[in-house]
Amino acid sequence: MACPFFLPTERCATSLWPHAMRLPLGDAWQGRCTAPGYEGAQPTDEQLKDGCNLGYARCPRLPERRPCDAVRLLLVRHRDRRLSIQYVCEIGHAPAAHGMLEYDAASACWTVAHADRCLQRMAECYLDSYLRRNPDS
């Protein structure tokens, strides 16, 4: 589960975790904060390690009122070069919103995308991590 205000930009060059492939986005990512009042702020390595990549953080940047605390992604179907990724936004460890995103690998485009740029970018990073581990997909 990644922080809902984390906008991943690139894979982390340094290993902050012993098993980065177990992280919610399938790898360690660097990025920017999009929390109100902190838009564009570059998180420190410690913030990336303890919060941005994990969600449910006690980050001082998180607004008190927010739509969710964390975003969970899961590849639920991979058939005929079409991939379905389910997302669940959680608040207080309970589902707050959910849905499906669809990617067509044959045309290399999202056929169902999410309007929230952070959530969509997280899905792109998650998919990228999956495809790097499964190159024959």
The DSSP string of 28-56 is -EEEEE-STT-TT----HHHIIIIITTSS
Q: Phi and psi (nearest 5°) for 86? A: -90, 140
**Cα-Cα-Cα-Cα dihedral sign, residues 125, 8, 63, 119:** negative
Angle in degrees, CA 54, 33, 92, rounded to 5:
45
- Taking 70 as the threshold, does the pLDDT of residue 122 lie above it? yes
User: Percent of the chain, pLDDT > 70?
Assistant: 99
Between 26-35, 52-61, 112-121, the lowest mean confidence (pLDDT) is in: 52-61
> How many angstroms separate the CA atoms of 17 and 15, rounded?
5
In sequence order, the β-bridge partners of residue 10 are 30
pTM of the model as a whole: 0.91
